[in-house]
Structure 1
């Protein structure tokens, strides 16, 4: 559903940015074909990764693995009496932040 909303918004933007489409819509004997062409163009202009479940799954798996490796590595290093390197803490924190960013809802603005 959200892909359709973004495509519709892109279609409206196309009509605003390209006045010849509006003229063509007014003069064409079959305005439905103009709308269909504009809709296809709007769908093609949306981001190619939108709705790509495999990409999100890979990102979640990689970031989740990085979180676990950082946490377990820190625990292991502390258990043997060594200090945790700052880079390990930074990587773990960045991975957790990225996961939160993936799961946070996207804001919809006008």
Structure 2
């Protein structure tokens, strides 16, 4: 399903109300400003704190990255055990990606501190 954009809503308002066409001819800037305000009021921006879809995608992708890194570490350890190497070497990029993804995941999942309300 395609998301309806503000310009689509604006066009449907103009098509549905013939008086807007005449108003645009006479005073285009003022009429379009009025229409844009109506569209903004009827379609408010979703704040990031309420955008659950994007939040879930971010948590899912970061979790997947952490799991892939853990899997890669397990493979490196198994290869080191097969080759009987004393200490397995982990690539620096693997450590960097894993720690960054884990830190970002912790930041997303940590509770947000509320500012105390001033006492009156």
Relative to structure 1, is the Cα distance of residues 48 and 57 closer, same or farther in structure 2, using a 3 angstrom cutoff?
same
1:49-60 to 2 correspondences below 5 Å: 49-60=48-59
CA shift, 1:47, in A, is 6.8
Q: TM-score, normalised by structure 1?
A: 0.53
| Partner residue, 1:70 | 69
Residue of structure 2 equivalent to 1:12: none
Match of 2:93 in 1: 87
Q: Which runs of 4+ in 1 moved over 3 A?
A: none
Shift of 1:50: 2.5
In 1, Cα distance between equivalents of 2:46 and 2:95: 33
Which ranges of structure 2 fall in alignment gaps of 5 or more residues? Answer: 1-39, 81-87
SS in 2 for 1:80: helix
* Higher-Rg member (1/2): 2
- The CA distance in 1 between the partners of 2:57 and 2:48, in whole Å, is 13
- TM-score, normalised to structure 2, is 0.49
Structure number with the higher helix fraction is 1
Q: Report the alpha carbon displacement of residue 49 of structure 1 after superposing the two structures with TM.
A: 2.1
1-side partners of 2:115 and 2:105: how far apart? 23
Q: CA RMSD in A?
A: 2.5
CA distance in 2, matches of 1:83, 1:72: 15
